[in-house]
Amino acid sequence: MDNFTPVDGALHAEGVSLSTIADAVGTPVYVYSTAAFQRHARAFRDGLTGAGVTRIHLAYAIKANPNLAVLRVLANEGYGADVVSGGEMMRALAGGVPAKDIVFSGVGKTREELTAALDAGIGQFNLELEEEGEVLAALAHARGIRAPATLRVNPDVDAGTHAKISTGRKENKFGVPIDQAVEMYGRLAELDGLALHGIAIHIGSQLLDLAPLETAYRRIGALIAELRKFGHFITRVDLGGGLGVIYKAGDVPPSAADYGAMVARVTRDWDVELMFEPGRLIAANAGVLLTKVIWVKPGVINPYVIVDAAMNDLARPALYDAWHDFVAVRPNGGRMTANIAGPVCESGDTFAMGREIDEVHSGDLAVFRGAGAYGATMASTYNSRALVPEVLVDGDRFAVVADRIQPETILAAERLPDWLKG
């Protein structure tokens, strides 16, 4: 199932032609499919409930795509939010996620962010270190409340993914070492201002194999048993996100059903509410980056297709050597082997080298697929380019859900100091 398919030879997002969107909004622009977000959100839930995992709390990891309209679509699907900053918490609330359904993760929550989250009444803090727990407890105690919390543990599992998106090995910055967790949990559980409910983990992103997740979950199962031996009440376990998606033909991520079956098997005796934080799985294939070919520049080996999207709009290829399929909006049937690059003055601003693609010419429209997660949210204005806009499609209607922020607007926020004026 795919919500970006050709109709009469022209690529559409649901019922809307991408050419129509390019004419109305210009390029580059991210285009999202409401139906795709909904389908992914439902498939993930069904994978769990279908396997009998029913005491669940789903928190969409909004860093994958924090657009307000996307958050509203997912809140309407009954998803809470996993946030990693005060700004994301603000967005989740604005998107309509109830405070009690918000989980605050992240290794560097500031005291100001902890305070704001306590005042908002969010449902859970995932603690990353003991001192954070002590500070949160003191802040809560001073308000006469107890902060609901779990301790994030680092299970020391190699997720087998790209090093920059791996988070569960002992040398990573996330979580407390699993062999220190029992003692630390005991100390934190003593604090008046904390209501410590359980454990959280998240071992990495774009996982294409269930084995590392299963290993990590089994370690958490053993830890729960150990904590209960010491008299702790463990009622929640947050299993994080990380499931991979198809970016490229040949990628075979686990299905939601396979994941659900594994979770059911491993957690059968845990007797807890399970929490999940999917991000990429929900968002990646719900969006494309629509771009226009500026030039086809002859090259020494292959021609360079120079598009008007660049690394500042979609950073994943430059950051992680990520693959995004590139397809013409109106393919003419021809094929070519080309390099695909943006206008930014860095050789790293290259989306693909020596790739076989639809034949394109100057002025043609094309898309990078799989761009709904970790796309617009990582965009910058490097090279004084505009901040890329976002469009949401729903059936045969569409709306701009984030404006293109022009270089003039960004320039307007800059000042000359007095001594340079005149």
Ligand X SMILES: *Cc1c(COP(=O)(O)O)cnc(C)c1O
User: Interface residues with ligand X (CB under 6 A)?
Assistant: 61, 63-64, 82, 84, 105, 202, 205, 240-242, 277-281
Pairing of strands 390-394, 29-33: parallel
| 273 among annotated binding-site residues | no
Q: Which residues contact 54 (CB under 8 A, 6 or more apart)?
A: 48
Q: Between residues 275 and 329, which has the closer beta carbon with respect to ligand X?
A: 275
Q: Which helix (H) or strand (E) element contains residue 94? A: helix 86-94
8 Å CB contact between 230 and 186: yes
Q: Which is nearer to ligand X, 368 or 398 (CB)?
A: 368
30 is in an annotated binding site: no
280 is annotated as contributing to ligand binding: yes
Smallest distance, Å, CB 388 to ligand X? 20
247 labeled part of a ligand binding site: no
Helix (H, G, I), strand (E, B) or coil at 333: coil
Q: Is 242 flagged in the annotation as binding?
A: yes
Alpha-helical (H) ranges within 308-356 are 316-320
Q: How far is the CB of 174 from ligand X (least distance, A)?
A: 8
- Are the beta carbons of 274 and 309 closer than 8 angstroms? no
CB 149 within 8 A of CB 233: no
CB neighbours (10 Å) of residue 53?
21
Residues 61, 279: contact at Cβ < 8 Å? yes
Least distance to ligand X, CB of residue 258, Å: 16
Tell me the closest approach of the beta carbon of residue 92 to ligand X, in angstroms: 14
Nearest distance from C-beta of residue 151 to ligand X, angstroms? 13
Phi-psi region of 243 (alpha: psi -120 to 50; beta: other; left: phi over 0): beta
In the complex, what is the shortest distance from the CB of residue 13 to ligand X, in angstroms, rounded to a whole number?
A: 22
Residue 240 C-beta: closest distance to ligand X, Å: 5
CB of 279 to ligand X, least distance (A): 3
Instruction: Identify how many contiguous H helices and E strands the chain contains and give both numbers.
Output: 12, 21
Residue 197 annotated to the active site: no
d(CA 300, CA 111): 55
The tokens describing 64, both together, are 């994958």
Is position 131 annotated in a ligand binding site?
A: no
| Residue 244 labeled ligand binder | no
CB crowding 292-305: b at 16 or more within 10 Å, else e: bbeebeeeeebbbb
Q: Is the CB of 255 or the CB of 337 nearer to ligand X?
A: 255
Q: How many CB atoms lie within 10 A of CB 393?
A: 24
The answer to whether 374 is annotated as binding is yes
Instruction: Tell me: is residue 32 an annotated ligand-binding position.
Output: no
Distance CA(27)–CA(340), nearest Å, equals: 16
Q: How far is CA 245 from CA 125, 153, 193, in A?
A: 28, 25, 40
**Which residue lies nearer to ligand X by CB, 198 or 279?**
279
| Tokens coding 166 | 């791996």
* Separation between Cα atoms, residue 206 and residue 203, nearest integer Å: 10
Residue 187, exposed/middle/buried by CB under 10 A (0-12, 13-18, 19+)?
A: exposed
Neighbours of 414 (CB within 10 A): 6
Asked if 391 and 29 touch (Cβ cutoff 8 Å), the reply is yes
Q: Which of 249, 300, 301, 345 is catalytic?
A: 345
Our CB check for ligand X shows the closer of 88 and 390 to be 88
Beta carbon nearer to ligand X, 66 or 342:
66
Rounded distance between C-alpha atoms, residue 121 and residue 100, angstroms: 7
Indicate the DSSP class of residue 215: H
- Extract the annotated binding site: 242, 277-280, 316, 320, 346, 374
Q: Which residues are catalytic?
A: 345
Binding residues for substrate: 280, 316, 320, 346, 374
Q: Tell me the binding residues for pyridoxal 5'-phosphate.
A: 242, 277-280, 374
